Amino acid sequence: MSTHYHIGIDLGGTKIEVVILNSQEKILFRERLLTEANLGSEHIFKQIHSLYKKAVVSIQNKTHTLGLGTPGSISQKTHLLKNSNTLCLNGLPLQSILEDKLAHNVAIENDANCFALAEALMGSGRGYPFVFGVILGTGCGGGIVFDGNIRQGAQNIAGEWGHMVIDPQGPRCYCGANGCVESFISGGGLEKRIQDKTGRKISAIDFFNTPLKDESLKKIKQDFYARFGQALANLINILDPDIVVLGGGLSNEKSLYKEGINEVYARIFNDVPTTPIVKNMLGDSSGVVGAALVGQKLTQ
C-alpha cells in the first residue's frame, strides 16, 4: 500500500527526534525531546510515544509508515536489541515493545545505516551506486548502501568499522579489544587520548580550532590524521566504494578533507586514488531522515 507520509524517529543517547517526510522527500514536521536515559527504558518509551502522537496528529491520523534508528542492532537470533550505548535498552525486544505501545508496525535500523541511506538517497551520496557512510561522533559508526539499499550483512554488523583494530598495542576499548578505530578517531576517543597523554581536558572541537603550541598536542594531531588515514584506507581497500560520506560532530572539521584525505590516499592500494571523501549534506537531520526512509522502504 502506498502512502504519502513517512515518520522517522531517531532514538539517540541524548535526544529523540521525530520527522515526517512526504513522498517528495520534504520534511513536514520535526520535533525533539531529551532521551533522559538515566530515567530508564519506560521513560524513553514515554518520550517516543509522545513525539509519535504529536506527529500523527499533525497529519490528522492519516496512513503513514514508521521507521526508527537506534545505535546497536536487533539480534537476528533473539530479536533483542544489542550493542546500544543507551545501555538500559539492551536486551529488550524493542520492536515488539514499540509496536505494542505505538499500535503501528515499525521498521528498526542501526542509526549509522540510517545516516548512510539518507546521504545516499538525498545527500552527498546521491547518484553514487555504492556509498559508505561514516560517523565520527562520540563513537565511530558506519553503514553501507548499495543501489539505494542498506546492506546489513549476514550478521547485521556490516559497516561496523569502529571496532576494527588498527593497533593491537593501543588503548583498551569497551568492546574488549585493544586499539579499535573508535579509540583513536572518534570524538570521545580523541578526547580520552588527549587526557591520557597530557592530563588536560580539551574538547575535540577546541583541539582542532585552537593553534597548538604544545609539542605533545601537535603529535596527537598528527597521529590522529595518520590513524584516520589508516582506518579509511583499510575500508576503501576492501570495499572500494564510489564515495565515502562523513557524518557526526567531527565531520565538521575542515582539515579532515585536506590533511586527513592526504593520509588516506597515501595508504590506498592504487597509484592514483580517486575515492571522493566528502562531508554530509543533511547535517544533524540525516539520521532521522534515514529512519523515515527505512520505514518508507517497507512499503516498496
46 Cβ partners below 8 Å, 6+ apart? none
Shortest reach from residue 159's CB to Zn ion, in Å:
14
Q: What is the rounded CA–CA span in Å between residue 294 and residue 279? A: 22
Q: Closer to Zn ion at the Cβ: 33 or 166?
A: 166
What single DSSP character describes residue 136? E
Shortest reach from residue 173's CB to Zn ion, in Å:
3
Q: What is the rounded CA–CA span in Å between residue 117 and residue 103? A: 26
Query: Residues binding Zn ion: what is the number (CB under 5 A)?
Result: 5
Residue 120 contacts residue 127 (beta carbons within 8 Å):
no
68's enclosing H/E stretch is: strand 64-70
Shortest reach from residue 243's CB to Zn ion, in Å:
26
Shortest reach from residue 125's CB to Zn ion, in Å:
26
Shortest reach from residue 167's CB to Zn ion, in Å:
12
Q: What are the respective helix, strand and coil percentages of the chain, to the nearest 5?
A: 40, 20, 35
**Amino acid (1-letter code) at residue 54:** K
Q: Closer to Zn ion at the Cβ: 119 or 182?
A: 182
Q: Closer to Zn ion at the Cβ: 67 or 189?
A: 189
What residues pair up with 22 in beta bridges, in sequence order? 5
Q: Closer to Zn ion at the Cβ: 34 or 157?
A: 157
C-alpha R_g of the chain: 19
Q: Closer to Zn ion at the Cβ: 16 or 180?
A: 180
Q: What is the rounded CA–CA span in Å between residue 9 and residue 64? A: 13
Q: Is 122 in the site for Zn ion (CB under 5 A)?
A: no
Q: What is the rounded CA–CA span in Å between residue 207 and residue 84? A: 28
What residues pair up with 18 in beta bridges, in sequence order? 9, 31
What residues pair up with 74 in beta bridges, in sequence order? 81
Shortest reach from residue 136's CB to Zn ion, in Å:
15
Shortest reach from residue 52's CB to Zn ion, in Å:
33
Residue 247 contacts residue 133 (beta carbons within 8 Å):
yes
Q: Closer to Zn ion at the Cβ: 223 or 242?
A: 223
Q: Which residue is listed with cell 561522533?
A: 137
C-alpha cell at 11: 532514538
- Of 163, 216, 155, 214, the C-alpha closest to 189 is 163
Q: Closer to Zn ion at the Cβ: 165 or 205?
A: 165
Shortest reach from residue 81's CB to Zn ion, in Å:
18
Per-residue contact flags (x/-) with Zn ion for residues 151 to 190, judged by CB under 5 A: ------------x---------x-x-x--x----------
What single DSSP character describes residue 73? E
Q: Closer to Zn ion at the Cβ: 10 or 182?
A: 182
Residues forming the site for Zn ion (CB under 5 A):
163, 173, 175, 177, 180
